[in-house]
Each structure stands twice: as structure tokens, then as C-alpha cells.
């Protein structure tokens, strides 16, 4: 697995390069409290469980958790945020100290520290109690002390870095830590920071900051588009009549505590109105929405997509369609739209979107995973890593933190372990069996890697194959190549094929640096392997559109993309066999078949009446591909 090993070493080098990188985190800090209880019976007064508290833990939340993640990932984190002079504030200070965060928080005697208390039984969250949300904004004295702390912290980090400009992370969850004067100061002093990351509940409040990267949730990205359509004025009230499409509207009283959800369903007052659940919660229609010809239409009241046009398209498709607009409205170099359990869509100046995937977990496991994502993304970009690398490390950091209940924190050691060997300490082999492929792919997914899958006979390996496989590998982090068995090749291409037995074919493929895993399959079609692997990208060879690939509906149903890569002219197995035969037995041997020889011998090609054989990577299934057959390209 030379290709994967080299990739892991490259990513690990990036993680090492960001050690001690100075990062100033500013924003809404809070305390997360987790209360673990047991319940064995119901109370008499109501159908409610009787809980017995067994364990209580506290953790930094919000901007404080982002600072903790920066520190545990190896950066030098300094936090500036208002914190109440109360018990919760004292516990938050302890959390910061344990993580090694430079605590430069500003004490606010008259403002409580925000706390989010979760009560669990059997790892199931039964309720969440929020307290300490400030009812009053920071007074003039509090704003002045916060601005002084920001100036001093910036110079402190610059001095610690030998004069280099520090990195800035802004975490604005609408709890009052970043009033207008503070936002104005940060915009005016943008030049003092080399890299700026922004995670804001309302991105429109930060116009002019021109951050390096913004990481909105899907709901936050949608809100920005709606406000942009309204001219960034006061968000208008949702339209209640006149819409027959699906309406995506941010709930008016959505809690300002970080990434939120969209209410998605038939627009209120529209035809076939769907029931809407509790405010701030997704309705059953959220999973898939319809999309107009241009993606979606943004109105002053929100984002509306026509329910009667086109096939269902998921949130990733909608986010991808609006990446350029999100970059324009935020002024950011990079936009990463996070999709919780569905991963993220990331786009930069090159206009090429990148999709990362996540493993679905219970909600109690994912609290704070966005903070780990933001911290790793920021550190990677500050270390001048490429955008694909930063996106992969950010998704990996978020993914490996969600294994248990609690506030997510990613440690540098955990990230490096995920980039190294498998849990048993041995690297996965390149040549694998169908029975072990599931577990291997699952390991890679847990490490945040996207999987590219292709299949073919690869009978006589030639430069066309190599170019094709290199292009396929560039579409993701891992390339799995499925190879038709000898019997499968004979059924598909005739009794004179394959020229080389499967043992030779897979040995040559495994030696290519762009190939991570090779597996042999016996069937004529790879559909069973596709269902097992669930590839992020499925690649076929040919000059026809992806819609004509027989496996396309299955791949898309499983959440993947389909790509077709064009042929390399004059490079095909059949052409090579013809040239060998012409040089060894004369021209006549290329026209007729005289004997029925064993499959491992080179025999004559098909007669003129037979359909042309497809190139190995492109058509190794029993399905017809009319466009490819009519292309007239060499076989």
C-alpha cells in the first residue's frame, strides 16, 4: 500500500509542522456539564424515570473548546473571552489550565458564565438545561477591557513566535462576547493576523473581515444567502403564503449556541403542507429536498427550491451549488459547509469542491466535533497546507473524536495514530480478499479518507491503464481496484482472454504507487463490491456521460459520485495484442481464429461482425454502453 503509506506520512508531516503555532481564539466561551445517571423505575407522579446521579464531568465549550482543541492538537492556544466571576467560571478556568490553554479571559462580575447541562441515562440525553445566557450586553467598561485584552494577547503571541503574525479564530455564537465595537476592532486589525478563521452563527455580521476560512453549518450558510438576497438588512419575516415549493427557513427563535438545524418542509401555506416539528428541529423532509435547474432560488424570506422540478438532491449538492456565492458574500478564501453526520463540502479559489464524509454517530457523541474540525482546519491552513490536505485533516480530527459521549477533543497523538497503522499495529495489505475489504474500508473511513473505486480486467497493463489509475487516485484519498477473475474475463471477452492470469494482473496493479488495494471478483458486474465499499467516487473509463454508466444509480443511492475518464488514444489491450500478433505470426493471424487454445495463450481477435471489445477499465460488466461502442476508438 505504497500510495496510502506515502499519503499518511505527508499528512503526519503537516501535523508536526503546526506544533507551537500561535493561535488567538476569541468569542463566546461556555461550560459543558455532563451528568450521567441510572434509571430503573418510573415515578408515581408522572410517567417519568427516576434518576440516580452516578457521575458528573465538566468540559470547556464553545470558543473555549476550540481553544482546547488547538492546544491538544499541538498549537499554542490563547483564549480571550468574557467569563463570569462564578462557580461555572472557576470550573471553566480549570478546564483551560488542564489543556494548556493560555487563559487571558476577562472576568465579568455582573454576567454569568453560560452553562449547558445535559442529563443522560444509558448514554441517552434525556434533557438539556441552559443557564447563564447573558440578558444584558457588555457595558462600556467590559468592552474596553476586552479590547485591551485582545491587543495585549496579539502582541504576546507575536513575541512568543519571534515576531511572526499569529493566527486568529473567531467563534461568534451570539451570546454577547463579540459586540459591535469588538467586531469593528477585529475587522480594522485584520492585517495583524496571518490566518483568520471564522465560525459565526450569523456570518453577515462579519462582512469586511475577509477571513481565510469560514466554517458555517448548512443552516448558517442558508441564512447568509437569504440575508444577501435581502441586501443584508434586517432579516424579513418568513413568507406565509404564495409558495408551492420546499421552503428552508431559519427558525426565528433558534437557540444561539452554535451550529443549528434548518426547518425543512413544504412552505407554510403551500400546497400539501407538511407538519413542522418543534422549532429548531428538522422535519421528516429534511433528508432530501428537490432542486431547481440552477440549484436553488434564494428569496428575501429564505431559500426556496421547487418541489416539482428535478430529482431529489441532498444538502451536499445544495451547498456545493452555492460555494462561489458563499465565498463572495463572506470574502473568505475557503468555505467549508459542515453537514454534521454527512461530513462537509469545502471549496476554495480554484472552484473545485471537495467532499469529505463522516460516520453517523449518536448526537451525544458529536457535541463539539465542529470545534475539533475548526481547530484542525485552521492549524493546517496556518501551516500552509493545501486545501485538500487541510480538509482531510479537519474531517479526520472531527471523526476520531466522536467515539464516546462527551464534549469532543482531538489530541495530536490521536490524530497521528489515525494517520499511522491500523489498531492492531499492522498496515493493511494491498492485495485483499472480498471478505476482508469491508473492515479495511471501514478503517480508512474512520481515518477520514475518501474512497475511490474502479474495476476492470487490466489484462495487458499499459500506459493507458496507468494514466487512468493515476487520474482516478487523484479524485480521493484511497483507490480500490476490483479485477475480474479469469472466468469472468472469459465470459465477457471470449475464450482467448485473458492473456495474463489473474495472479499476474493483480501483482502488477499492486506494484503501482497510485493503487492502495486490489481485490478480485468473480461476477460479471461489481455491484456486490460497490454495495460493500460504498465508494465516495466510482470511476469508469469511457467518453460517455456518467448517466450512461449502468452502476450509476446504485452508486448515487449509496451517496457516491460517478466519474468517467476519457481514453488515452491508441492505448488499449486489444491494440497491443494485435501488434504482437502482427509481428509474430503475420497479418493473416489478426483476421481469423484457427484453433481453440487455452485462455492463457494469445489468439486471434474477434471477427469483424463481433462488437468491439471495450477497454478494460471502462466496460467490464455485461451491460451495453452504446456511446462507447459508437465512438470508433481503438479497442
User: Is 478 in a helix, a strand, or coil?
Assistant: strand
- Calculate the CA 175 to chain-centre distance: 28
Residue 371 known to be catalytic: yes
Please, where are the H alpha helices in 162-217? 180-188
Residue with cell 450558510: 221
Containing 482, the helix (H) or strand (E) segment is strand 478-484
What the block records as the C-alpha cell of 480 is 480500490
Query: 247 phi and psi, to 5 degrees?
Result: -120, 125
Containing 84, the helix (H) or strand (E) segment is strand 82-84
How far is Cα 399 from Cα 393, in angstroms, rounded to an integer? 10
Containing 24, the helix (H) or strand (E) segment is strand 22-27
Q: Residue 57: how many CA atoms within 13 Å on its side-chain side?
A: 8
How far is Cα 571 from Cα 460, in angstroms, rounded to an integer? 11
Q: Does residue 110 have a cis peptide bond before it, meaning omega lies within 30 degrees of 0?
A: no
3-state secondary structure 403-464: CCCCCCCCCHHHHHHHHCCCCCCCCCCCECCHHHHHHHHHHHHHCCCCEEEEEECCCCCCHH
Q: Are the C-beta atoms of residues 244 and 265 closer than 8 Å to each other? A: no
Angle at 582 between CA 581 and CA 587, to 5 degrees: 115
How far is Cα 630 from Cα 625, in angstroms, rounded to an integer? 9
Letter string b/e over residues 560-580, b meaning 16 or more CB atoms within 10 A of that residue's CB: bbbbbbebbeebbbbbbbbee
Could you say which of 371, 477, 496, 516 is catalytic?
371
User: Is 125 in a helix, a strand, or coil?
Assistant: strand
How far is Cα 346 from Cα 338, in angstroms, rounded to an integer? 8
- Calculate the CA 523 to chain-centre distance: 32
CB neighbours of residue 584 within 10 Å:
9
Q: Are the C-beta atoms of residues 3 and 513 closer than 8 Å to each other? A: yes
Residues annotated as catalytic (active site), given as ranges: 371
Amino acid at each position: 500500500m505504497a500510495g496510502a503509506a506515502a499519503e499518511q506520512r505527508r499528512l503526519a508531516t503537516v501535523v508536526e509542522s503546526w506544533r507551537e503555532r500561535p493561535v488567538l481564539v476569541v468569542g463566546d466561551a461556555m461550560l459543558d456539564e455532563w451528568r450521567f445517571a441510572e434509571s430503573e423505575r418510573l415515578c408515581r407522579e408522572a410517567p417519568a424515570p427516576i434518576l440516580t446521579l452516578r457521575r458528573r464531568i465538566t468540559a470547556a465549550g464553545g470558543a473555549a473548546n476550540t481553544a482546547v482543541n488547538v492546544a491538544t492538537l499541538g498549537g499554542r492556544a490563547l483564549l480571550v473571552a468574557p467569563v463570569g466571576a462564578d462557580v461555572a467560571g472557576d470550573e471553566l478556568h480549570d478546564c483551560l489550565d488542564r489543556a494548556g490553554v493560555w487563559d487571558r479571559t476577562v472576568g465579568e462580575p455582573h454576567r454569568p458564565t453560560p452553562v449547558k447541562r445535559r442529563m443522560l441515562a444509558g448514554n441517552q440525553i434525556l434533557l438539556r438545561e441552559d443557564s447563564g445566557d447573558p440578558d444584558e450586553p457588555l457595558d462600556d467598561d467590559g468592552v474596553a477591557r476586552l479590547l485591551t485584552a485582545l491587543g495585549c494577547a496579539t502582541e504576546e503571541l507575536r513575541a512568543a513566535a519571534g515576531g511572526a503574525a499569529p493566527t486568529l479564530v473567531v467563534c461568534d455564537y451570539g451570546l454577547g462576547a463579540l459586540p459591535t465595537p469588538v467586531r469593528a476592532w477585529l475587522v480594522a486589525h485584520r492585517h495583524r493576523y496571518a490566518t483568520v478563521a471564522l465560525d459565526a452563527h450569523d456570518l453577515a455580521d462579519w462582512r469586511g473581515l475577509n477571513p481565510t476560512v469560514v466554517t458555517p453549518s448548512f443552516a448558517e450558510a442558508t441564512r447568509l444567502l437569504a440575508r444577501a438576497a435581502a441586501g443584508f438588512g434586517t432579516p424579513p419575516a418568513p413568507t406565509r403564503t404564495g409558495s408551492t415549493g420546499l421552503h428552508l427557513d431559519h427558525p426565528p427563535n433558534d437557540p444561539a449556541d452554535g451550529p443549528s438545524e434548518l426547518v425543512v418542509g413544504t412552505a407554510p401555506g403551500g400546497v400539501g403542507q407538511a407538519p413542522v416539528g418543534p422549532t429548531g428541529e428538522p422535519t421528516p423532509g429534511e433528508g432530501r429536498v428537490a432542486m431547481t435547474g440552477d440549484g436553488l432560488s434564494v428569496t428575501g424570506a429564505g431559500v426556496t427550491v421547487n418541489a416539482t422540478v428535478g430529482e431529489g438532491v441532498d444538502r451536499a449538492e445544495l451547498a456545493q451549488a452555492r460555494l462561489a456565492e458563499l465565498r463572495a458574500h463572506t470574502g473568505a478564501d475557503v468555505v467549508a459547509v459542515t453537514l454534521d453526520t454527512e461530513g462537509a463540502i469545502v471549496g476554495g479559489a480554484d472552484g473545485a469542491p471537495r467532499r469529505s464524509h463522516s460516520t453517523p454517530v449518536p448526537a451525544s457523541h458529536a457535541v463539539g466535533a465542529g470545534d475539533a474540525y475548526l481547530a484542525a482546519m485552521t492549524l493546517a491552513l496556518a501551516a500552509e497546507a493545501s486545501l485538500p490536505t487541510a480538509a482531510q485533516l479537519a474531517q479526520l480530527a472531527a471523526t476520531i473524536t466522536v467515539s464516546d459521549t462527551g464534549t469532543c477533543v482531538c489530541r495530536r497523538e490521536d490524530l497521528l495514530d489515525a494517520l499511522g497503522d491500523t489498531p492492531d499495529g499492522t498496515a493493511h495489505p494491498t492485495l485483499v480478499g472480498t471478505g476482508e475489504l469491508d473492515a479495511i474500508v471501514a478503517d480508512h473511513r474512520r481515518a477520514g479518507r475518501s474512497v475511490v473505486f474502479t474495476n476492470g480486467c487490466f489484462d495487458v497493463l499499459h500506459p493507458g491503464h496507468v494514466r487512468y489509475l493515476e487520474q482516478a487516485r487523484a479524485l480521493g484519498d484511497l483507490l480500490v481496484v476490483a479485477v475480474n477473475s479469469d472466468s469472468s474475463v472469459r465470459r465477457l471477452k471470449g475464450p482467448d482472454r485473458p492473456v495474463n492470469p489473474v495472479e499476474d494482473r493483480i501483482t502488477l496493479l499492486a506494484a503501482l504507487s497510485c493503487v492502495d488495494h486490489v481485490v478480485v471478483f468473480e461476477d460479471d458486474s461489481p455491484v456486490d463490491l460497490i454495495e460493500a465499499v460504498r465508494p465516495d467516487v466510482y470511476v469508469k473509463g469511457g467518453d460517455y456521460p456518467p448517466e450512461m454508466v449502468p452502476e450509476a444509480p446504485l452508486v448515487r443511492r449509496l451517496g457516491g459520485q460517478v466519474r468517467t475518464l476519457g481514453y488515452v488514444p491508441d492505448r488499449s489491450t486489444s491494440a497491443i495484442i494485435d501488434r504482437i500478433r502482427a509481428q509474430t505470426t503475420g497479418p493473416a493471424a489478426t483476421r481469423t481464429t484457427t484453433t481453440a487454445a487455452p485462455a492463457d495463450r494469445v489468439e486471434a481477435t474477434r471477427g469483424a461482425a463481433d462488437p468491439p471489445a471495450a477497454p478494460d477499465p471502462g466496460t467490464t460488466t455485461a451491460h451495453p454502453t452504446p456511446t462507447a461502442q459508437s465512438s470508433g476508438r481503438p479497442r
